[in-house]
A = this chain, B = another copy of it.
Amino acid sequence: MVRLGIIGYGNLGRGVESAVKQNDDMELVAVFTRRDPSSLEIKTKGVKVDSVENVAAYQDKIDVMILCGGSATDLPKQTPEYAKLFNVVDSFDTHANIPTHFANVDKACKENGHVGLISCGWDPGMFSLMRLYGNAFLPDGEDYTFWGKGVSQGHSDAVRRIKGVKNAKQYTIPVEEALEAVRSGSNPKLTTRQKHTRECFVVLEEGADAKAIEKEICEMPNYFADYDTTVNFISEEEFNKNHSGIPHGGFVIRSGKTGWDLEDTHVVEYSIKLDSNPGFTSSIILSFARAVARLSKEGVVGAKTVFDIAPAYLINRSDEDIRAHLL
């Protein structure tokens, strides 16, 4: 059994909790929170809720700690800190800061004999693996990543921060013509605007100025200014009915050439369509937690990414079984 702990009980933490039920070789030992533990009720009967302050007492009881905090402020501190006490897995997704984060986690892991797998999920994660496989197999080529259709939490937050906005959700939508151009194998150059559109569903506070808010959204630098954005104002009722889920999806496409004169074109496409972004992410995290537990048992230490994990380590089946039935 792989004994797991969860730090942080938001969407991702709850997803991990549910995913444990689907994996016979996994056991949830405790959920840790920064709040008063008595204020938090979790779904799994008999599993302890404790304060993060008591986490050190669990060193012999937990094989892998799953860090479910946010990438902006939580994980840069938490992952190196808890890697001193436990093997850890996080879903750090600020791509530009991965090298620094990796170095910090690597140091903590090596000084304390742990394995720390960072940036796990679908992007970074499975999409990264698809980019790597694509670049390895088709060195003369281009890769393209499209996200959506799905909810961007960061963009939804940005809209919600606007004065007069009561609630909002933002969907990132890949442009079908761009996808088709890439699938043709023509390796097009695509601008930011050509690849994705953004669609917002906004509930206004009473008396708010819809026109001004629409302008403020569409002109918001970094978030919306480089995109074609549609803003829909809807009632709170409609919002709750149709926009309460967290669906997502995306595509990684590699197109490249082989042959003596590079005469043959190949297109490789990986796509996902998810009812629940945290549901799929946490399920991936559990597979990599299994790999971390196995590597740690083998005496491996240090920071790792999805690139470092042999696929056989991810699944709860024997090598003989997967060779006979999945190969």
Contact = CB atoms under 8 A, between A and B. Distances in A.
A307 B327 contact: yes
A89 to B, nearest CB: 14
Interface residues of A, number: 71
Interface in A157-215: 183, 185
A269 B266 contact: no
A263 B274 CA distance: 12
A317 to B, nearest CB: 8
A151 B281 CA distance: 37
Contacts of A276: 258-259, 264, 266
Contacts of A270: 268-270
A124 interface: yes
Nearest to A310: B310
Interface in A26-74: 43
A323 B266 contact: no
Contacts of A310: 307-310
Given A307-B311, A327-B119, A266 B272 contact: yes
Contact of A326 (B132, B271, B272): B132
A279 B256 CA distance: 11
Interface string A275-290: 1100110111001000
B272 A271 contact: no
Nearest to A140: B22
B18 A128 contact: no
Interface stretch (A80-88, A95-103, A107-115, A235-243): A95-103
Given A137-B283, A323-B307, A267 B273 contact: yes
Contacts of A1: none
B314 A132 contact: yes
A277 to B, nearest CB: 10
A87 B215 CA distance: 64
A322 interface: yes
Given A132-B315, A264-B279, A308-B312, 16 more contacts: A18-B259, A21-B260, A43-B260, A98-B327, A102-B323, A126-B137, A132-B311, A133-B311, A135-B315, A138-B283, A263-B275, A266-B280, A270-B270, A307-B310, A307-B326, A309-B310
Closest 7 CB pairs of A and B: A264-B275, A258-B279, A264-B276, A307-B312, A136-B315, A136-B314, A136-B287
